[in-house]
Amino acid sequence: MVRELTIIAAAALIIASLAAHSQSTPSQLTYRCVGKDGKKYYGSTVPMPCLGQPIEQLNTSGMVVRRIDPEGDEKERAVKEAEAKKKREDDAARREAVRRNSALLATYTSAQDIDEARSRALADNQKAVKDVELRIDAIKKRQASYDKELVFYKGDNKPPARLQDDIRDAEIDLKAQENLLAAKKKDVDTINAKYDQDKQRYLELTVRR
């Protein structure tokens, strides 16, 4: 009886030893990781607790042949995407520069052409400014006539709705035209800047030739 118990105990120890060996020496396993719970996991396929964790791929001798870092892979992917996006943007910018340069050379035959185009653009802008100023003067004259008409309405004698609407509309029109006038005057700087850039690029392109 004692001999039988000894044999059973020895067998149990051997089984426990083999189980421990299978956990610590993954000679027949492929993937290994430390889960979020701090425990090690092994498997011939990626164990579920390894998902999202750094993983080691082992050969049949238990040697690490590859490390898989999901976070590192994600960062690498993000870097590659950023590089690819920048390359696309740079390529698009180069194509646009070529297109603009070609259009510039097709539009002008000399630097003098650019100066003449500038003069025409400034003259058109000045004409637009004058037109707006005339409209503003006309609105102010209308307002003056409304002011004269208001003189007849005092105290309880309120001005008719028509007159009130005309006064309100004139104020709205005047504000709109004043804003337009400010924009037209500011366009002078925009026009000069555009033709300055065109002339500079034209000279650079033609000197290279």
For the cut 60, the answer to whether the pLDDT of residue 146 exceeds it is: yes
| Residue range 154-172, pLDDT digits in tens | 777 888 999 999 999 999 9
For 35, the token pair is: 């889960």
For the cut 50, the answer to whether the pLDDT of residue 196 exceeds it is: yes
Q: What is the pTM of this model?
A: 0.56
User: Cα separation of 119 and 130, whole Å?
Assistant: 16
pLDDT at 181: 97
pLDDT at 138: 97
For the cut 90, the answer to whether the pLDDT of residue 177 exceeds it is: yes
| Residue range 3-52, pLDDT digits in tens | 444 333 433 333 333 334 344 444 456 899 998 899 888 888 888 888 88
pLDDT at 60: 84
Q: Judge contact between 34 and 40, C-beta under 8 A.
A: yes
User: Cα separation of 45 and 59, whole Å?
Assistant: 13
Percent of the chain with pLDDT over 70: 85
User: Cα separation of 11 and 5, whole Å?
Assistant: 10
For the cut 70, the answer to whether the pLDDT of residue 197 exceeds it is: yes
pLDDT at 209: 57
Give, for 59, the enclosing helix (H) or strand (E).
Answer: none
pLDDT at 23: 45
Per-chain mean pLDDT for the chain: 84
pLDDT at 113: 96
**Interval 69-82 mean pLDDT:** 80
